[in-house]
A and B are shown apart, each in its own frame.
Chain A
Amino acid sequence: MWSRIISRLLTSLVVAWASVTAAFLALHALPGRIQDILAGDLEYPGLREAIAAEWGLDRSLPAQYLDFLLRILQGDFGTSYVLRQPVTEVVGSQLMPTVQLALLGGILAVIIAIALALLTAGRGRISRQIASFLELVFASTPVFWLGILLLMAFSFTLRWFPVSGASGWQSIVLPSLTLALPTAGLLAQVLREAMEKTLDQPFVTTVRSRGVGELVIRARHVLRHALLPAVTLGGWLIGGLLGGAVITEKVFGRPGLGTVTLGAVLTHDVPVVLAVVLLAAFIHVAASTLLDILYLLIDPRLRAQ
């Protein structure tokens, strides 16, 4: 099993390294000079020279590549020439609100999905159909439209929650719900199917014959089994939440990485966008590696091999 974990870690490292390399290659494959690409839409005297010096553009390509790798390894993503600030500072100052939103959204999604699955798996046809229809609708709804609808209903009409801002717990309720629902739709479906498969297994009958209550069976035994396949979706979930957070922030006017990234896209601020994308990739890879290892650890059937 350990060799398996180590090989999984190695694969992740290779993927992380490859994504940095891909970013470097993309930068050089683009038409135009690197100086012009990195400068964004800004122009001031000495700018191109400063960029050339910082990126060491007069050196050979392999030397530049090594330098790029080393700098990213040290957490240095260069300078945003449009914002005239180190990228690490720009991104660092915006990271927390986004991570907060993504985390809360993720937790909510998991809770909603589990609740839906617990309530509907293996029950009557009607309730299952209603549930799967709901899930289909959630999964097919664009995050930003869901946000708009929730805003209209709960902020403008009912006035339960404030429209905006990063202050106070009330202001994060609607954004995290917006982010959670589409994800929950999919997750619930996966969970329910898994639960239904598990409910048919002999051990459930055994437990049932011991007179254990239905809810306990579901919550303690069946859910645990069913969670396993859902764990494999973890990586995908985190990637989706990070991307979704960017859009959700825009809808609710929340500060965070989304605002900064969108601004950077519009001003062609390549260093900032590159940093955000790489960072998201690292988080994604790290999280899915962790989940996979967890999966190996908790599923005895995998350990045996």
Chain B
Amino acid sequence: MKWQLYAIDHFRKCETLLLRLVVKNTNGRSPMRKISISPRTAIVIASVMLGGQLAQAQEGKPVSGGAITWGVATEPSCFDPHRASQQAAFFVARNYIDSLVGKKTDGSFAPWLATEWSISPDGKEYTYKLREDVVFHDGEKFDAAAVKANYDFVKKPENATNAVALLQYFDRAEVVSPYVVKLILTQPDSTFLESTSNVKLGIISPKALAKGDLCGGGPLLAGSGPFVFERYSRGQSAVFVRNKDYKWGPGYAAHTGPAYLDRVTLRFLPEAAVRAGALTSGQVDLIEGVQPTDVALFADQAEFKLLTGPSGASTSFTFNINYTIPPADDVRVRRALRDGFDLEPLVKQVYLGTVPRAWSIIGPANPAYNKALVGAWGNNIAGANKLLDEAGWTGRDSEGFRTKNGVRLKIDVGYPQPYVRDNREVLIQGIQAALRKNIGFDLNLRIITAGEYAKNNANGNWTIYPNTDNPSDPARELWDMLGSKGFLYSNIANPDPQITGLIDEALRSTDVAKKRALTDEIQKLGVDQAFIVPMFAPSWFLAAKNNVNGLSFEAGLDSPSSAYDFWLAK
């Protein structure tokens, strides 16, 4: 087990019982996240294996029936997994979308829509044997042709899907027999199996695909998942009802057969205080995105439980710096930005100690995390000032910012509004203040529209992009952020050849040890050159009423799991 999640549960009556069941993780780091917990209340801190077997031992035997309302922070601007781009949209999609394979907590893969799969010796052909009993929500049969239709759809440029990033080396799909499909690549891709487990490449009914825009959700968006997307009311809610015929759950799930719950209603509650209040007043059963300031509200109450999910798959929250645009084209300026402030106390203050600061681009719970970066950079204000002096930023303007030839040392952080969540804009404001005070650097936070961001990205003239990469294989994540055709650098003429070369090599490398060495090297180079400044390792905070059981996190998404395993105690 590579990482754990911690269920903080309360025994209503056992006032003095303090039980700690901490399963040590493999690399020996303390897995516990500190959460302020009142010593008055008896608490069970249980480290629960993903999939929730341990949790179930405590929670009792699951029962079917009931409905829950789930308060979520981000209303997805698109429900179609092929097109969606917000991380918060993907765990929602998991309720109605299945994938060919499922990613387990240990990083291996479990059968799902495919019962078995094989990879050709040259690493260019992936053959999947499919289940024969799967039916889409619209009544269509699932088969090899449906898989081909989906992969063809995503690959087609005019469909402008976001998922196409995962199909960089995908060439074509072949229907070998009605229930055997072969996916053929142009060159070996060490990340491909993981990509086929990704919800972005989830399988939608071909009939639905042909209907055009599925972003608005509803019954039109027919997948094969444990819930049917019944209705979406903009600004208010999305309703999913149980798929009674469901018997093809992922191999990593805690049970088989249909979901326990009859109905799941997502209520979109963007205000954190409102979300927490909705749970305390009983208007919803479960919320995600619990504010650090609200943690005590649930950790202290007998009738609630709080779960925090570590970031095993995703990257850290990072500043991605466009190193081709002045003044950030000077490595000294980038390094000064990276080292000109003390990150640790800032993260601690904003998140009240609930999340750790980051050292690398890849998150600390990810197997590919480069531990050598711990302590290797940051908080060197004197050094940062020296670097800027050397780089010629020696003047000062009336507001105390450094200048060179009368131009202020200023870089914009363009944060697209739909992606702002989790107090990240507050953290950036803290960095902004520190950089100004410490080294006279004007880090200018701008909340921009999705459209402005899209334009900047298309022209390659974005400056700093605050990012947590959507989970995928580590090499694919690094490629996405720093690779020559990833989402940030695809429109930039001359990305750094050294790092893009290493990334391409990692993508091709099917040798595990070699790939690991390469991803380590890429992380080191990315931070050393300050192409990327890691900030913290994001976590998901779930709070629920005590009778909501079976909560867990999904390894492949690094987010709350679908409601498939959820059940309500009577």
| Chain A interface residues (CB < 8 Å from chain B) | 40-45, 83-85, 90, 93-94, 151, 155, 159, 161-168, 170-171, 252-253, 255-256, 259-260, 263, 266-268
Per-residue contact bits, chain B 378-418, to A (CB 8 Å; 1 contact, 0 not)? 00000000000000000000000000000000000000010
Q: Is B460's CB within 8 Å of the partner chain A?
A: no
Query: Which residues of B are found within 8 Å of A170, using beta-carbon distances?
Result: 281
Q: Is B177's CB within 8 Å of the partner chain A?
A: no
Query: Which residues of A are found within 8 Å of B236, using beta-carbon distances?
Result: 93, 166, 255
Q: Which among B233, B234, B454 is the interface contact of A43 at CB below 8 angstroms? A: B454
Nearest B-chain residue to A148, judged by Cβ: B273
Do A163 and B449 have beta carbons less than 8 Å apart? no
Please judge, given known A-B contacts A163-B281, A164-B275, whether A267 and B451 are in contact too, CB under 8 Å. Answer: yes
Query: Which residues of A are found within 8 Å of B452, using beta-carbon distances?
Result: 41
- A selection of 26 A-B contacts at a CB cut-off of 8 Å is A40-B451, A41-B450, A43-B454, A44-B160, A45-B158, A84-B215, A85-B216, A94-B234, A94-B235, A161-B281, A162-B278, A162-B280, A162-B283, A164-B271, A164-B275, A164-B281, A166-B236, A168-B283, A252-B271, A252-B274, A253-B273, A255-B268, A260-B235, A267-B417, A267-B449, A268-B451
Question: B252-278: which residues lie under 8 A (CB-CB) from chain A?
Answer: 267-271, 273-278
Query: Which residues of B are found within 8 Å of A155, using beta-carbon distances?
Result: 277
A192 to B233, CA, bound (A): 45
Instruction: Give the one of A162, A163, A256 with max B CB within 10 A.
Output: A163
Q: How far is the CB of A159 from chain B (nearest CB, A)?
A: 8
Query: Which residues of A are found within 8 Å of B216, using beta-carbon distances?
Result: 84-85
Query: Which residues of A are found within 8 Å of B235, using beta-carbon distances?
Result: 93-94, 255-256, 259-260, 263
Closest 8 CB pairs of A and B: A41-B451, A163-B277, A162-B281, A253-B274, A164-B274, A253-B271, A41-B449, A255-B236
A165 to B158, CA, bound (A): 40
Per-residue contact bits, chain B 216-248, to A (CB 8 Å; 1 contact, 0 not)? 100000000000000001111000000000000
Q: Which among A41, A84, A164, A259 is the interface contact of B283 at CB below 8 angstroms? A: A164
A263 to B77, CA, bound (A): 11
Q: How large is the interface on B (under 10, 10 to 19, 20 to 34, 35 or more residues)?
A: 20 to 34
Query: Which residues of A are found within 8 Å of B282, using beta-carbon distances?
Result: 162
Query: Which residues of B are found within 8 Å of A267, using beta-carbon distances?
Result: 417, 449-451
Nearest B-chain residue to A259, judged by Cβ: B235
Please judge, given known A-B contacts A165-B278, A253-B271, whether A260 and B450 are in contact too, CB under 8 Å. Answer: no
Please judge, given known A-B contacts A163-B281, A266-B417, whether A83 and B274 are in contact too, CB under 8 Å. Answer: no
Q: Is B213's CB within 8 Å of the partner chain A?
A: yes
Main SS class of interface, A = loop
Query: Which residues of B are found within 8 Å of A162, using beta-carbon distances?
Result: 277-278, 280-283
Question: B458-506: which residues lie under 8 A (CB-CB) from chain A?
Answer: none
Please judge, given known A-B contacts A93-B233, A93-B234, whether A163 and B213 are in contact too, CB under 8 Å. Answer: no
How many cross-chain pairs have Cβ atoms below 8 Å apart between A and B? 88
Query: Which residues of A are found within 8 Å of B234, using beta-carbon distances?
Result: 83, 85, 90, 93-94, 260
Please judge, given known A-B contacts A94-B235, A164-B269, A253-B269, whether A266 and B160 are in contact too, CB under 8 Å. Answer: no
A40 to B234, CA, bound (A): 18
Nearest B-chain residue to A44, judged by Cβ: B160
Query: Which residues of B are found within 8 Å of A256, using beta-carbon distances?
Result: 235
Query: Which residues of A are found within 8 Å of B281, using beta-carbon distances?
Result: 161-165, 170
Do A268 and B449 have beta carbons less than 8 Å apart? yes
Do B283 and A171 have beta carbons less than 8 Å apart? yes
A159 to B282, CA, bound (A): 12
Nearest B-chain residue to A80, judged by Cβ: B234
Question: B31-57: which residues lie under 8 A (CB-CB) from chain A?
Answer: none
Question: B434-465: which residues lie under 8 A (CB-CB) from chain A?
Answer: 449-452, 454-455
Instruction: Give the one of B160, B215, B234 with max A CB within 10 A.
Output: B234
A161 to B274, CA, bound (A): 12
Instruction: Give the one of B235, B267, B276, B282 with max A CB within 10 A.
Output: B235
Other A-B pairs, 15, CB within 8 Å; known A164-B274, A266-B417: A40-B451, A41-B454, A93-B234, A93-B236, A162-B281, A163-B276, A164-B269, A164-B275, A164-B277, A165-B267, A166-B236, A255-B268, A259-B235, A267-B449, A267-B451
Q: How far is the CB of B239 from chain A (nearest CB, A)?
A: 14
Query: Which residues of A are found within 8 Å of B455, using beta-carbon distances?
Result: 43
A94 to B237, CA, bound (A): 12
Query: Which residues of B are found within 8 Å of A44, using beta-carbon distances?
Result: 160
A66 to B267, CA, bound (A): 41
Q: How far is the CB of B147 from chain A (nearest CB, A)?
A: 26
A51 to B236, CA, bound (A): 28
Please judge, given known A-B contacts A42-B451, A268-B449, whether A165 and B283 are in contact too, CB under 8 Å. Answer: yes
Query: Which residues of A are found within 8 Å of B273, using beta-carbon distances?
Result: 151, 163, 253
